[in-house]
Structure 1
Amino acid sequence: MNDLFDLTGKTAVVTGASSGLGAEAAIAYAQAGADVALLDIKVDGLIQLKTEIENIGRKTVTIECDVTKEESVKTAVEKILDMFGKIDILLNNAGVAVPGSVEHMTEEEWDKSFNTNVKGVFLISKYIIPQMKEKKYGKIVNIASVNAVVADKNNKFIRHSYNASKSAIIGLTKGMACSYAKYGITVNAIGPGLFKTKMTTALFESEKFLNEYNEMNPTGRPGKKDELNGTVLYFSSDASSYVQGQFVIVDGGGVIV
């Protein structure tokens, strides 16, 4: 049964890999047997992670990549294919959370959310999917958010562009899943609840917010740093070979429908 989650011989690509959930997922991939390409807009933050993965005994490469720029994405994918010869798994993790309501956000702030959170998924998928189609195999995992389906009720943390862009990822996931299933490619999405990352620093610094979150959540706490990895590995492995276009919320039961 454990063989279903074995990623030996696979090559995984992680965007936004320098910290938080992306870094944790990259390590989980390596521990499951995969070689890992680490992509981020700045490679300085990838040095320690690269060393950790190499110490596990897996091959890895760090590549500077701005997922909002097509040429940057194209070049990054070419480098990965030159080094590893193939890409089996894509974790679309790069994202931003721009604060503000629609009446107070600038156009630039709105565009920043959609360029990173949605356009970034589109661009890197565009250049990775063709070789997945060619070899009739691929696992694409898109990181959305619980905020794709639940709005922030604390006015201090309103992020309308984040809500909208993460909802868009769910729609994109479903469309891609339908189109590429016949090529042996699965496309699914994950909606993390509250985990401690650079993006959520302000939330963890607010005692009021944390108390409200813990009271609302059945587990009484935010997620721990490695508690997303099981779902990531499920969608990235043959354990989910017949699962398509699904959105799984990982938030300790805060949203139960």
Structure 2
Amino acid sequence: MFLSFQVSDVSSADDTISTNQPLSLSQTIVSSGGIFELGFFHENSAIYGSFYIGMWYRKVSPRTIVWVANPESPIKSAFDCLLKMSNGNLILQNERNKALWSTGLNSSSSKDVQAVLLDNGNLVLRDGPNSSAAVLWQSFDHPSDTWLPGAKLKLGSPLLTSWKSSTDPSPGRFSLEVDSKTHSLITLWNGSNSYWSSGPWDDRLKNFKGLAEGTYLNFILNLDDSYITYSVDPDLIRAYPLVMVLMDVSGQFKLQVWREDFQVWGGDLFSPSENM
């Protein structure tokens, strides 16, 4: 979702939230290559707007939010909130030490667990400071309306869910799923009404029938391990390094690329047009 609202006068830290390094309203973390940034944002310019923890492309303006931690639990005042590590979990805590959002892992007394923002847009909880440490939790398993390259989305539940509106990241009317019988990509309206279908998976073509030939995306549907992912054509990546797939508030499922020359997002439309 494309948004321009933000929290002003923030300072950027490194790419890690640790037990001794929480994140406050005035701070963000930035992936090591400077591609993604994570911190607090709010739904409008009013000082009393609802706040969220979100992730966005650091060098894209207006700000483009690609992941929201707490879409169903907005914060009414973030000034005394902290995003911190506690007992092996990443939690959003208010001034009364109440957890407003959490990664929901079984409690652990380990002080070595860290949250690290990676250059692919994945926020991971690692069981230690080493990059080879076990991943305990990752934001790729909990997408909102945006599907970043390399993310393996689990089958059996909505892959993506649109925002309620262009300024409200709470769950909207449209969701993207894989049909369990036809193995088609489908868009549902209000959770049950069929809105669009790609056509069934074609294992020979390694793509979904009905999607435009020559698409820049190569889907991988792994029924044995119950996930779907995609890779991006190298020629497209060379021309436009920032690529994502979006479930829009309009019900459109589309590929988006950042056009640095025009400072806009553009791309291919997979699902119905707005006139449908």
User: Hey, which of these two has a bigger chunk of helix by percent?
Assistant: 1
TM-score of the aligned structures, taking structure 1 as reference length: 0.28
Larger radius of gyration: 2
User: Hey, which of these two has a bigger chunk of strand by percent?
Assistant: 2
TM-score of the aligned structures, taking structure 2 as reference length: 0.27
